[in-house]
């Protein structure tokens, strides 16, 4: 199939066509021509849409699907279809399944299940056996089977020596270790950011210190061991400062931030809505300001939706007992587009995460594979259940004003567009 994308504004700093509006001709999955005006021919699949923009394909570094074990929340097949219609050509899937992804056969199961889709799936293996934080998992074997990183999703590594050994061991095969930034001894059974709102609402608080002290420990260990460390979903002003200082020292550390922590504060908790319960929690406007600044100056490398489907039985309950997590694929671009410029969004959704997780970066040029996210930055709308494609509906952005529209993707010789 030959596909012709008409009048597309190209967002790709590595392309000679960056910020130019061009026609793009794709034949058998590869870009064969980029020009001002390419004529339509019979049999072409033509894409003509309002204020059409294309960028290098977005890669979400933290996505949870239910399968295996929690298929009622989301299956791999449907999850990848959601990702495609949300503009993502690749996703890294967390190991929080049942059984967890802690050995080579479970990694291979995910890869085989995802074969043939427009959106590529890259497994993240657990850092510890059975996700229990006691003994290290089979990291090398999992990497040989296709795992791109190792971390216990939303679970901190409490054992300092275990993380030290993991950082040393992964250097033998250039592996990437993930360490969730939370000290459970300090966080305790907190359910919300410790501050004015948690006090007013009578909710047990999670102090910013619980995140920052864990990051400090991780950075001390990294400085001692060397190796590669990624800290997912930071949320506080001090966390940004700690990572900025570590990078100045030359430590090989990166970090990410979840979309909702860039847009929403703990003021959202006044309705006691379980959909607003996330881990790490929503913080303050001062933290958001520091996070946005950290993205723009390069301290924060990656933005993730931190997409985590939870069934209604575990969400429509008392706030303190609701499971943590929000879906985020469908709302990611619209939320980011309301607070950040397009180039920063593309850099932190595409170039930076691909580089860190060892995914091939493909420029929008002739004779290159077509790996494209297709969208428009224009148009305000209110995010509602009608906008949710996921099986689970636990969105933190329900009834929020978002901006822009995702049209779909082109990847793996497949065009996927929203109807």
Which residue, among 253, 200, 392, 233, has the nearest Cα to 303 in the 3D structure?
233
Which residue, among 75, 123, 77, 130, has the nearest Cα to 102 in the 3D structure?
130
Q: Which two tokens stand for residue 125?
A: 């293996």
C-alpha dist (Å) from residue 395 to 3, 380, 383, 415:
34, 18, 9, 26
Q: Which two tokens stand for residue 161?
A: 């020596």
Q: Which of 266, 301, 306, 371 is catalytic?
A: 306
C-alpha dist (Å) from residue 158 to 83, 197, 207, 209, 212:
33, 28, 17, 15, 14
Q: In which residue are the tokens 């400090």 written?
A: 216
Angstrom distance (rounded) from CA 310 to CA 260: 16
3-state secondary structure 110-146: HHHHCCCCCCEEEEEECCEHHHCCCCECCHHHHHHHC
DSSP label of 350: I
Q: What angle do CA 280, 284, 288 make, to 5 degrees?
A: 85
Angstrom distance (rounded) from CA 260 to CA 301: 16
Which residue, among 306, 156, 287, has the nearest Cα to 233 in the 3D structure?
306
Half-sphere exposure of 373 (CA within 13 A, CB side): 29
Give start and end residues of each alpha helix (H) in 24-103: 76-85
Distance of CA 260 to the CA centre of its chain: 11
φ/ψ of 122, rounded to 5, equals -120, 120
Q: What is the DSSP string of 300-320?
A: S-EEE--B----GGGTSS-GG
Q: Which two tokens stand for residue 194?
A: 């410790």
Active-site residue flag, 12 = no
Q: Which residues are catalytic?
A: 306
């Amino acid at each position: 199939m030959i596909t012709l994308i008409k009048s597309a504004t190209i967002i790709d700093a590595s392309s000679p066509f960056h910020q130019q509006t061009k026609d793009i001709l794709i034949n058998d999955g590869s870009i064969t021509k980029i020009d001002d005006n390419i004529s339509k021919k019979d049999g072409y699949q033509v894409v003509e849409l309002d204020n059409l923009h294309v960028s290098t394909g977005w890669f979400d570094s933290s996505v949870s699907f239910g399968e295996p074990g929690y298929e009622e929340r989301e299956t791999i097949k449907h999850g990848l279809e959601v990702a495609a219609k949300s503009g993502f050509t690749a996703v890294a899937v967390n190991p929080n399944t049942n059984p967890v992804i802690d050995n080579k056969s479970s990694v291979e199961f995910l890869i085989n299940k995802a074969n043939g889709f427009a959106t590529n799936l890259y497994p993240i293996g657990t850092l510890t056996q059975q996700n229990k934080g006691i003994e290290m998992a089979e990291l090398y074997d999992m990497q040989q089977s296709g795992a791109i990183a190792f971390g216990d999703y939303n679970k901190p590594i409490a054992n300092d020596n275990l993380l030290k050994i993991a950082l040393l061991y992964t250097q033998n095969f250039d592996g990437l270790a993930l360490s969730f930034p939370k000290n459970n001894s300090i966080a305790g059974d907190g359910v919300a950011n410790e501050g004015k709102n948690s006090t007013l609402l009578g909710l047990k608080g999670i102090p910013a210190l619980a995140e920052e002290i864990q990051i400090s420990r991780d950075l001390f260990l990294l400085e001692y061991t060397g190796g590669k460390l990624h800290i997912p979903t930071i949320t506080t002003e001090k966390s940004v400062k700690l990572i900025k200082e570590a990078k100045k020292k030359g430590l090989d550390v990166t970090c990410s931030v979840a979309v909702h922590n860039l847009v929403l504060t703990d003021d959202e908790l006044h309705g006691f809505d379980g959909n607003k319960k996330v881990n790490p929690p929503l913080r303050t406007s001062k933290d958001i300001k520091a996070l946005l600044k950290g993205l723009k100056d390069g301290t924060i490398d990656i933005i993730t939706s931190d997409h985590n489907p939870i069934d209604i039985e575990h969400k429509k309950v008392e706030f303190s007992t609701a499971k943590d997590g929000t879906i985020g694929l469908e709302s990611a671009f619209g939320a980011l587009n309301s607070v950040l410029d397009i180039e920063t969004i593309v850099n932190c959704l595409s170039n930076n995460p691909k580089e860190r997780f060892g995914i091939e970066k493909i420029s929008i040029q002739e004779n290159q594979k077509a790996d494209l996210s297709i969208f428009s930055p224009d148009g305000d709308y209110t995010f509602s259940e009608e906008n949710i494609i996921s099986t689970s509906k636990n969105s933190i952005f329900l009834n929020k004003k978002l901006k822009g529209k995702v049209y779909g993707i082109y990847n793996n010789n497949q065009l996927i567009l929203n109807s």
